[in-house]
Amino acid sequence: MRCREVALLALLAIGTPASAAVPAATEEQAQAWQAAQAAAEAAAASSSLMPPLDVSEWYTVTIADTTVGYMNTQVSVTETSVKNMELMDVQVSRGTDTSRMAFETVFEEALLTEPAPADVPAGMELSGGVAVMSYDQRFANSEVKMHAKMIEGGITLTSYNGEKEHVTDLELPEEPWRGRMRARLEFTRRCRAGEREIVIQTMRPELGPRIVNLTSTFVGMGQVWDGEEKVESSLWTVQISDVPVNMSEAYPVHGPLRCYRMLQMGLDMPFGHLLAALSSKEDALQAAVDDPTRKLPELVYAMFAPLSRQITDVYDARMVKLRVRIKEDKQAKLELPSAGYQKVVDAGNNQLLVTIDLQAPRRATSAELTNAEFRKPSAMVDSSDEVVVELAHRVDAQLAAQGHKLPSITEEPFKLTAEAERELAFALRDLVHNHISSKHLSTAYASASETARTGSGDCTEHAVLLAAVLKARHIPARVCHGLVYVEDGGSAISGEATVGADGQVSRGSSDKPGQFGWHMWTQGLVDGRWLDLDATLHVPYSVGHVLVGTSSMSDKEAHNNHMQMAALIGNIEMDLLEVSHKWR
């Protein structure tokens, strides 16, 4: 069960969780590769490469040896800039649904100049030589876009989700970096010089406008298909700083495009190895054609996290204690926050003791109390949208009947009592639960304003809309990502078992082990404490949640808020230590 595979969307765009370490190259392999590069450099008239422009490369993408789509890279030049585009378009299975997703990133950079095309023009070091950097994610019927324009002294960031745009002004980085083309040429230069570990400062549009270190490590030699024949190639692992990814790439050892033309990119995904291999345009496009007879990789059920035994009557329980650990053959670092109803204690040996107590919400930190991002609208959590605001006030009559005084939609906001604020938060949770009447996996990462209008979606739409209506009523809010307990036969939206015609929840049989699926929900800041609220459930919240991370979903971080989750997919196991149904 997985109501939302947002983390895997990010992984397909940038890489995959680091798994077992890739063996380092033998000294013999390294020396053979370095000797080949030295010989090629000695024979070349110049060590710098002015790459071919106006070129398009096509790759066939497979997952677990099944063709799922294509990747296309293009370099083109105008009178004023060089443009570098990368597009991946694939199909996957999501439970009973099939979804098509595409990720496009674009850099527009200053023209390359000889004799050192990898160098950033003087005066543009803090903009990386980049004029525009953009990211476009299309999944099912939804689209998320980010457009960063470098201006004098800053960055204008325009985010788009659904029908609205949000504009944010940011400062330029404080240290130099390179755009995609110059980063690629710097790798080429240093690869040709025989360096075995190459670190380059750059940006990845899907991670937002922040500098990352791209570390490429030589791991060996091999024969790799170049679209026509197998050629001797250097093999590299690639990692991005602060992001749990581990990619592999292959480049030709010989020829004019050695160390430059990418022949393959590989990713070890939880549901099978992904490989983008150089091919013809015809073959690549054919791989993306719908084929009902093709068994596509499954994203939802492949990401279950096992639990040693079931949590009995999970919706009636007050507290659970879990031991969470990394699988023995994995190398991911295990980190979980103490926030909301969750308390985490380090038990050593990459194990954590996690307690979820519904009568012990944790206090917000001083930084969280003053963080404006938990109050401001964004492209995803567009709390200023008129439909969202109107929706957020539909609970007023109900709360007024209970004796709580609230500002009307036309009044200036005023400070509520702690009791009124708490009741408002719970009423808004119930409102979103009932408003999203069409609960399915067909919607993909819709904004709050879109969901307010359509009333459809899965756990992501519930979480984002609830955050928006909370903000619209001046309750600071953020979105949570983590795991939800899945009952036997549980829903792909909430983990909750089927509700029968009599209104009773159908429980799973107690002789089967439990499991957790990846999920999203919301936290509201009420009376100085974070309250967990899950709008997908028939109750406000349950102990069957493990929090992995939180996000304000601000425009500058909306594409980079699921990396903690990505590191753990397929890598964790959990033991149920204690469950209590006694309420204080």
Instruction: Write down the H helix ranges in 55-95.
Output: none
Residue pLDDT, tens place only, 265-280: 988 776 678 899 999 9
Q: What is the pLDDT of residues 539-555, one digit of tens each?
A: 999 999 999 989 888 87
**Arithmetic mean of pLDDT, 356-383:** 92
- Which segment of 70-74, 150-154, 421-425, 520-524 scores lowest on mean pLDDT? 150-154
Which is nearest to 514 in space by CA: 460, 577, 458, 566?
Answer: 577
Confidence of residue 163 (pLDDT cuts 50, 70, 90): low
CATH of 305-580, one of 2.60.40.420, 3.10.620.30, 1.20.1250.40, 1.10.1280.10: 3.10.620.30
Q: Which two tokens stand for residue 243?
A: 């992001």
Is 186 in contact with 193 (CB distance < 8 Å)? no
Q: With cut-offs at 50, 70 and 90, classify the pLDDT of residue 97.
A: low
CA angle 89, 13, 495 (to 5 degrees): 95
Residues 6+ positions from 429 with CB-CB distance below 8 Å: 466, 522, 533, 534, 535, 540
Read off the pLDDT of each residue in 502-519 and give the average, rounded to a whole number. 60
pLDDT at 24 (0 to 100): 67
350 φψ region: left (φ > 0), alpha (ψ -120 to 50), beta (else): left
Please tell me the total number of residues recorded for the chain in this structure: 584
Q: What sections of 240-357 are H helices per DSSP?
A: 281-286
318-332, 379-393, 510-524, 557-571, range with the lowest pLDDT: 557-571
Residue 522 pLDDT exceeds 80: yes
Q: pLDDT tens digits, residue range 45-62?
A: 556 788 888 999 999 999
Handedness of CA 483, 334, 476, 387 (dihedral sign): negative
Residue 328: per-residue pLDDT? 75
Of 492, 486, 533, 534, nearest to 512 by C-alpha is 486
Q: What is the pLDDT of residues 434-445, one digit of tens each?
A: 998 865 555 556
Domain boundaries, the chain: 15-286, 305-580
Mean pLDDT of 203-224: 90
Where is average pLDDT lowest: 99-108, 398-407, 495-504? 495-504
Confidence of residue 428 (pLDDT cuts 50, 70, 90): very high
| Cβ burial, residue 316 (10 Å; 0-12/13-18/19+) | exposed
> Could you tell me what percent of the chain has a pLDDT over 90?
52
Task: Count Cβ atoms below 10 Å from residue 255 Cβ, excluding itself.
Answer: 13
How confident is residue 29, by pLDDT bands cut at 50, 70 and 90? confident
Scan for tokens 């102990």, then name that residue.
543
C-alpha to C-alpha distance for 497 and 510, rounded to whole angstroms: 13
Cα end-to-end distance, the chain, whole Å: 32
The string of DSSP letters for 417-462 reads PHHHHHHHHHHHHHHHHHH--EE-SSS-S--HHHHHHH-EE-HHHH
Spatial contact of 184 and 128, defined as CB atoms under 8 Å apart:
no
pLDDT of residue 140: 64
Span 509-525, mean pLDDT?
78
414-419 long-range contacts, Cβ below 8 Å, gap at least 24? 418/526, 418/527
Angle between helix axes 27-43 and 180-192 (nearest 10 degrees) is 100
SS3 566: helix
CB 237 within 8 Å of CB 217: yes
**Residue bearing the bigger pLDDT, 469 or 446:** 469
Pick the closest to residue 165 from 379, 398, 462 (CA basis). Answer: 379
CB-CB contact of 157 with 555 (8 Å)? yes
Contact 500, 489 (CB under 8 A): no
Residue 363 DSSP label: B
Mean pLDDT of the chain: 84
φ/ψ region of 300 (left if φ > 0, alpha if ψ in -120 to 50, else beta) reads alpha
Give the per-residue pLDDT at 20: 43
